[in-house]
Structure 1
Amino acid sequence: MTLHISTPFVQSQPNSRRLGKPVWLKMEAAQPSGSFKLRGVGALCEARHAAGVQRFVASSGGNAGLAAAYCGRELGVPVVVVVPESTPSRARDLIRLEGSELIVRGGTWAEAHEFALSLIGPRDAFVHPFDDPLIWQGHATLVDEIAASGPKPGAIVLAVGGGGLLCGVLEGLQRNGWSDVPVIAVETDGADCYARSVAEGRPVELAQITSVATSLGARRPCDGALRWAQRHEIHSVVVSDKQAVEAAIRLLDEHRVLVEPACGAALAALDCDTPVLQAASSIAVVVCGGATVTAQQLLDFAARLD
């Protein structure tokens, strides 16, 4: 029994018609905490709980903290989540609703992260939002489910923040014998630390996050994600905030599923002039979800960006 659930892998008829090929959606927005984060965070929390820890301490911009809070409630372990001031009020409310202690500290996730680390006691476990091999192993189950349920995709599209989902999907591809499946790693302009890092061949830290896709708000990617760029075919795509928000609204209209702009970024890549996607016989998109936005906020973003 795992804390995450097996999510639907469905063919998107609207996207398939637009692109002239099968487009499949891995619906991680259906996870109990609202995003794919529950897979990796759940794997980490279960392992630490089995080892006897007394408390989880997490740093987060929103969704990872919500996943940690959910895990703590399910496992009966107290949780402290530290978020920056940029974390939406909806995310804060959802974390509190799970029964966790919420601390708001600093203007950025990096500052919240440093404070969270200072809270760690000898019987606590730290829950990183993306940079932990246990988290990557948990995210890899997403590919296990795709492999069990359907044909091998010609390409996989996903959004990148700190790189945890990317590392997990790549691990999943490798362990399922799908090392030849290219991955399209999508970010929004203003939160594109991975694309810049890959282009320069070294970690690049953004001075600030200027995108509305705050869930992509790591200022630098984890080293594991950069190592994968040397071992697997990864194509970086950067879309605008406007494209990401419009794609999220279109998903809501066509599939009745609400996701954050960070997830909309991956969906927006379907409409970009990307040769590897044009050549792929079929495409799988990780609909990573995100529970910290409302439909009205998406419409407000769209109006502001128009």
Structure 2
Amino acid sequence: MPLHIQTPLIESRPLSLTAGSAVWLKLEALQPCGSFKLRGVGQACEVHHARGARHLVSSSGGNAGLAVAYAGRQLGMAVTVVVPQTTSERARELLRLEDAKLVVHGSSWQEANAHAQTLLGPGDAFIHPFDDPLLWAGHASMVDEVAATGLKPDAVVLSVGGGGLLSGVVQGLQRNGWHDVPVLAVETEGAASLHAAMAAGHTVELPSLSSVATSLGAKRVAEQALACTREHPVHSHLVSDREALLACERLLHDHRLLVEPACGAALALLERPEALAGYGRVLVIVCGGATATLGQIRSWLG
């Protein structure tokens, strides 16, 4: 049995009326660790466990680390997660609940990641938050589940941070023969590394990150994510932090489900019917996120 669960696929009547299209939600926020990350991370952890690893090391300020910690506990493996100093106390609390060894280092994910590499010993396995073929293959399983229901969407809406979700969804679309289904890739304006890469024609490092959607905070998108934009129809969209936060509040009101601003970015696109014109059925990946609280979201909204 895989470590992730098969998540519900539901039609949202309120969001459909707003978007002017039939909106279907893939509720990845209901994964045991709170986000889609468990699909790919769980697969990677199982592969390394089968190869003899007994200790998992990861670098993450939130959801990827939580997925590694959950998977490691389920597999009986020791887990060390290196987080930057900016990681919220809520995220640290959740990592401790999963019995992970928590190391705080550096002011950014890049610094935490560099330190994590120094902790690797013989027989240890490093689990990258987004840039690993094992992750992409695992994330693709959510598209397999949608295909099994008989629903073929006219477009898929998802959030992009480092690009692991985008890479996995495109792989899933292609292996199900859905080469004609475009992906609407949404980022917040202060963390738009994919948008910058698509404009430049190559990956670029953003000088800084300024979005409250910290789970989207990769200064440079994965090379595979940019490659996906050349191999599959991918359209880049930007939303403001405020739009993402309001979308989180709306999902909570409409469907009683709290997600992070990183997930709210994708949901925010539903408030722009012009972006969805011509798409009769829209699939939104509700990627989730376990580290935001309602109080924090409302404080950001002011």
For the aligned pair, the TM-score class normalised by the smaller chain equals over 0.9
Give the Å deviation of 1:21: 2.4
The match for 1:217 is 217
Matches within 5 A, 1:15-164: 15-164=15-164
Q: Percent identity?
A: 57
Kindly provide the amino acid, as one letter, of the partner of residue 83 in structure 2: V
After TM superposition, the score normalised by the length of structure 2 is 0.99
Task: Tell me the distance in 2 between the aligned counterparts of 1:247 and 1:59.
Answer: 28
Task: Tell me the distance in 1 between the aligned counterparts of 2:197 and 2:172.
Answer: 23
The match for 1:190 is 190
Give the Å deviation of 1:86: 1.3
Is the 8 Å Cα contact of residues 35 and 63 (structure 2) preserved in structure 1?
yes
What are the Cα deviations for residues 147-179 of structure 1, in whole angstroms up to 9, with x where unaligned?
011310000000000000000000000000101
Task: Tell me the distance in 2 between the aligned counterparts of 1:236 and 1:255.
Answer: 26
The match for 1:291 is 290
Is the 8 Å Cα contact of residues 85 and 106 (structure 2) preserved in structure 1?
yes
Is the 8 Å Cα contact of residues 131 and 222 (structure 1) preserved in structure 2?
yes
Query: Would you identify which runs of 4 or more consecutive aligned residues in structure 1 move more than 4 Å?
Result: none
Kindly provide the amino acid, as one letter, of the partner of residue 288 in structure 2: G
Kindly provide the amino acid, as one letter, of the partner of residue 67 in structure 1: A
Kindly provide the amino acid, as one letter, of the partner of residue 118 in structure 1: T
Give the Å deviation of 1:274: 4.6
The match for 2:176 is 176
The match for 2:258 is 258
Give the Å deviation of 1:273: 5.6
Task: Tell me the distance in 2 between the aligned counterparts of 1:30 and 1:83.
Answer: 24
Kindly provide the amino acid, as one letter, of the partner of residue 292 in structure 1: T
The match for 2:242 is 242
Task: Tell me the distance in 1 between the aligned counterparts of 2:106 and 2:184.
Answer: 32
User: Aligned residue pairs: how many?
Assistant: 302
Is the 8 Å Cα contact of residues 61 and 217 (structure 1) preserved in structure 2?
no
Structure 2 unaligned spans of 5+: none
The match for 1:300 is 299
Task: Tell me the distance in 1 between the aligned counterparts of 2:105 and 2:95.
Answer: 15
Is the 8 Å Cα contact of residues 19 and 272 (structure 2) preserved in structure 1?
no
What are the Cα deviations for residues 231-268 of structure 1, in whole angstroms up to 9, with x where unaligned?
11100001000000000000001100000000000000
Task: Tell me the distance in 2 between the aligned counterparts of 1:295 and 1:273.
Answer: 27
Is the 8 Å Cα contact of residues 203 and 226 (structure 2) preserved in structure 1?
yes
Give the Å deviation of 1:122: 1.4
Is the 8 Å Cα contact of residues 259 and 291 (structure 1) preserved in structure 2?
yes
Give the Å deviation of 1:269: 1.0
Task: Tell me the distance in 2 between the aligned counterparts of 1:129 and 1:100.
Answer: 16
Give the aligned CA root-mean-square deviation in angstroms: 0.8
Task: Tell me the distance in 2 between the aligned counterparts of 1:144 and 1:228.
Answer: 18
Task: Tell me the distance in 1 between the aligned counterparts of 2:11 and 2:195.
Answer: 28
Give the Å deviation of 1:54: 1.4
Task: Tell me the distance in 2 between the aligned counterparts of 1:230 and 1:274.
Answer: 24
Task: Tell me the distance in 1 between the aligned counterparts of 2:32 and 2:151.
Answer: 26
Give the Å deviation of 1:95: 0.5
After TM superposition, the score normalised by the length of structure 1 is 0.97
Kindly provide the amino acid, as one letter, of the partner of residue 112 in structure 1: A
